[in-house]
């Protein structure tokens, strides 16, 4: 009986960590703070970001989930006043299997526009006749002088009252230079929150005084090495999971090619950020 209980307990612990990994890696518990998702009438394409009537710049970022044939669909941007198509392209959902939703990310640089309003259209085409199906239209304000921004991720006790340790939300930070860099994005994450963001319920689990030693971009894998301060006072699986989620989603939101983030401390990857 004792042996059976030990096996049951070990199996339960293994299941929990597998579940945590899947939730963090595939983003099932991430969302955009303060954003309303828009869904197609058929329900197979959902745009999570940007929301209707937000202001965007030439650097247009679109995120959502889709469940479409062969994981491929389309997008376009129209000038509201003239109806002229400004940009268009194909998009791909990273679905794990047929019939399942997969996340997608569209990133494009729009040309110089003489307009203050645009419409983002995300849609599929019918395999029968090529007609548009699963159309999502997102009306947006356009400002071509808007400064590029980073999305960095924190927990939020108002948006996630249970504080699951897995669910993280983005806040925006203005870029300090013309060229966006992952190092600057992560340094902004390490710098923590503003007083206003704290009042709004945002929380960071990353300790103070953490430094970045180096970043290595290896295509789908990004390696980030931190100073030992990142482990100062860190205890418990919840806080460890939260720290990893904050770093992971900040990297992924910046680098559209990244699929895995390896965290090391002073060059060491063994037993890093363990509960």
pLDDT at 4 over 70: no
- Among residues 142, 166, 197, the one where a domain terminates is 142
Residue 109 lies in a domain: yes
Burial per residue of 56-85, b for 16 or more beta-carbon CB atoms within 10 angstroms, e otherwise: bbbebbbbbbbbbeebebbbebbbeeeeee
pLDDT at 108 over 60: yes
Helices (H), the chain: 2-26, 182-191, 195-199, 237-254
Helix, strand, coil percentages in the chain from 3-state DSSP, rounded to 5: 25, 35, 40
Number of other residues whose CB lies within 10 A of the CB of residue 132: 11
Residue 5 lies in a domain: no
Residue 106 lies in a domain: yes
Residue 98: give its domain's CATH number: 2.60.40
Is 174 found in the same domain as 200?
Answer: yes
The 3-class SS string of 104-169 reads: EEEEEECCCCCCCEEEEEEEEECCCCCCEEEEEEEEEEECCCCCCEEEEEEEECCCCCCCCCCCCE
Residue found under tokens 């927990």: 155
User: Which of 141, 44, 123, 144 shows the shortest CA–CA distance to 76?
Assistant: 123
| Residue 220 to residue 251: CA distance in whole angstroms | 11
pLDDT at 25 over 50: no
Is 159 found in the same domain as 186?
Answer: yes
| Residue 34 to residue 202: CA distance in whole angstroms | 12
pLDDT of residue 57: 82
Residue 16 lies in a domain: no
Is 157 found in the same domain as 76?
Answer: no
Residue 135 lies in a domain: yes
Is 179 found in the same domain as 134?
Answer: no
- Among residues 88, 121, 142, the one where a domain terminates is 142
| pTM higher than 0.75 | no
Is 151 found in the same domain as 136?
Answer: no
pLDDT of residue 255: 86
pLDDT of residue 33: 43
Confidence of residue 22 (pLDDT cuts 50, 70, 90): very low
Q: Which domain holds residue 235?
A: 147-265
Is 151 found in the same domain as 260?
Answer: yes
CB 169 within 8 A of CB 31: yes
Confidence of residue 166 (pLDDT cuts 50, 70, 90): confident
Q: Is the peptide bond before 66 cis (omega within 30 degrees of 0)?
A: no
Is 228 found in the same domain as 155?
Answer: yes
pLDDT of residue 230: 93
pLDDT at 31 over 60: no
Is 135 found in the same domain as 79?
Answer: yes
- Among residues 142, 171, 192, the one where a domain terminates is 142
| Residue 72 to residue 69: CA distance in whole angstroms | 6
Residue 227 lies in a domain: yes
| Residue 51 to residue 53: CA distance in whole angstroms | 6
For strands 55-56 and 38-39, give the pairing: unpaired
For residue 273, count CB atoms less than 10 angstroms from its CB and return exposed for 0-12, middle for 13-18, buried for 19 or more.
middle
The whole-number average pLDDT for the span 113-123 is 93
Which one has a higher pLDDT value, 129 or 12? 129
Residue 271 lies in a domain: no
Tens-place pLDDT, residues 213-252: 999 999 899 999 999 999 888 888 899 999 999 999 999 8
CB 133 within 8 A of CB 126: yes
| Residue 225 to residue 3: CA distance in whole angstroms | 41
Tens-place pLDDT, residues 180-190: 899 999 999 99
The whole-number average pLDDT for the span 17-24 is 43
| Residue 38 to residue 51: CA distance in whole angstroms | 7
- Give how many domains the chain has, as a whole number: 2
Mean pLDDT of the chain: 83
Residue 169 lies in a domain: yes
């Amino acid at each position: 009986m004792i042996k059976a209980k030990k096996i049951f307990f070990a199996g339960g612990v293994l299941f929990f960590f597998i579940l945590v990994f899947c939730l963090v890696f595939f983003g099932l518990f991430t969302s955009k703070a303060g954003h309303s998702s828009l869904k197609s009438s058929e329900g197979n394409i959902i745009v999570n970001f940007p929301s209707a009537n937000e202001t965007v710049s030439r650097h247009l970022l679109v995120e959502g989930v889709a469940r479409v044939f062969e994981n491929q669909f389309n997008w376009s941007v129209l000038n509201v006043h003239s109806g002229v198509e400004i940009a268009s392209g194909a998009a791909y959902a990273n679905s794990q299997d047929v019939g399942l939703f997969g996340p997608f990310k569209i990133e494009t640089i729009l040309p110089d526009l003489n307009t203050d309003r645009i419409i983002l259209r995300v849609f599929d085409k019918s395999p029968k006749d090529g007609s548009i199906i699963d159309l999502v239209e997102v009306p947006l304000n356009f400002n071509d002088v808007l400064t590029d921004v980073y999305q960095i991720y924190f927990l939020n006790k108002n948006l996630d009252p249970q504080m699951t340790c897995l669910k993280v939300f983005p806040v925006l930070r203005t870029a300090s230079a013309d060229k966006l860099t992952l190092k600057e994005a992560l340094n902004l994450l390490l710098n923590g929150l503003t007083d206003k963001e704290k009042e709004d319920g945002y929380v960071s689990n990353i300790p103070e005084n953490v430094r970045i030693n180096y970043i290595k971009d290896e295509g789908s894998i990004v390696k980030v090495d931190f100073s030992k301060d990142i482990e100062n006072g860190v205890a418990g699986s919840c806080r460890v999971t939260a720290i990893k989620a904050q770093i992971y989603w900040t990297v992924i939101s910046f680098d559209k090619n990244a699929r895995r983030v390896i965290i090391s401390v002073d060059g060491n990857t063994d037993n890093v950020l363990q509960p």
